[in-house]
Amino acid sequence: MSLISAKDLTIGFSDLVLYRDLSFEINEGDYVFVIGENGTGKTTLMRTLLGLRKPLSGEVVTDGLKLSEIGYLPQQTIVQRDFPASVKEIVLSGFVGRMGARPFYSPSQKKSAMDAMKKFGVADLANRCYRELSGGQQQRVLLARTLCAATKVLLMDEPVAGLDPFVTEEFYGLVEKLNREGMTIIMISHDIAAAKKYASHILHITNDPSFTEKKEYFASGRGNSFSIVSGKEE
């Protein structure tokens, strides 16, 4: 079942076109790695898929997908890492977009938040201050928060940036489990080894972008010689 379709997208800014005529279809259960050099427009594309930016031309069709069914895990800034709130408060805030006129979280939302914290191994940290946690613990908390916000699609922008190899592999395992349970994943990443291991499809952003199944992408040799430097895209 198709969840997100891009049709002839032209992405960029009023005075700068990054790429043209990008079309693809993301189906339920896909695990898409978005790769490309820094500055090519990966984050801009993700914001476009979220409806936060308009393409210069073309359209994004969500086929009935609601914003309340989509979760977004952006790159963390230094300020965000130092946010003075408890783990429980951070996770519960994932429900803000679905509260309507209610000023308080419902009992079912509080239970779902605790279930999400248990799922990602941070329930025992519920009352700890977020800024006191390690980078890996913070990413687990943010993943739990995103799970409260999303029911069908999870978009992530460089979620393992700055994490050590052990924590990185642990994080990929958690995301893979979500994917096996039915969550559609769209992840911006510089990690080609992880793309080989986990992706179902590769969206390669260049001035001539392509969207292919993982097997086809690596069989073409494009990923074998791909070398990029990790860093935040402007």
Domain ranges of the chain: 78-151
**Does 80 or 181 have the greater pLDDT score?**
181
For 100, other C-beta atoms within 10 Å of its C-beta total 5
Cβ neighbours, 10 Å, residue 107: 8
pLDDT at 234 over 50: no
| Other C-beta atoms lying within 10 Å of the C-beta of residue 82 | 11
Asked if 44 and 6 touch (Cβ cutoff 8 Å), the reply is no
Question: Which is higher by pLDDT, 3 or 230?
Answer: 3
Residue 102 is predicted with a pLDDT of 64
Provide the token pair at 33: 């790695």
- Measured at the alpha carbon of residue 95, what is the angle toward residues 203 and 48, in degrees to the nearest 5? 30
Tokens, residue 203:
């969206």
pLDDT digits (tens, 9 = 90+) for 73-103: 887 665 467 778 999 999 999 887 665 656 7
The DSSP code sequence of 19-82 is: EEEEEEEEETT-EEEEE--TTSSHHHHHHHHTTSS--SEEEEE-TT--GGGEEEEPPPPHHHHT
The yes-or-no verdict on residue 113 having pLDDT over 90 is: yes
* Mean pLDDT of the chain, nearest integer: 87
Angle between helices 165-180 and 135-149 (to 10 degrees): 20
Average pLDDT of span 165-172: 90
Contact 182, 175 (CB under 8 A): no
- What is the edge-to-edge ordering of all strands in the sheet holding 57-61? 16-27, 2-13, 57-61
Per-residue pLDDT, 80 = 65
Give the model's pLDDT for residue 42.
94
pLDDT at position 1, please?
76
**Cα–Cα distance for residue pair 50/53, rounded to 1 Å:** 8
- CA-to-CA distance for 140 and 170, rounded, in angstroms? 10
Q: Kindly state the average pLDDT of the residues 35-42.
A: 90
Closest-CA residue to 188 (of 3, 16, 21, 45): 45
Once rounded to an integer, what is the mean pLDDT over residues 217-223? Answer: 83
* Pairwise CA distance, residues 198 & 185, whole Å: 10
Q: What is the DSSP letter of 3?
A: E
On the question of pLDDT at 205 being above 90, the answer is: yes
Q: What is the spatial distance between Cα 21 and Cα 8, in angstroms, rounded to a whole number? A: 4
- Over range 203-221, report the average pLDDT: 92
Q: Which of 66, 72, 74, 29 is nearest to 232 (CA)?
A: 74
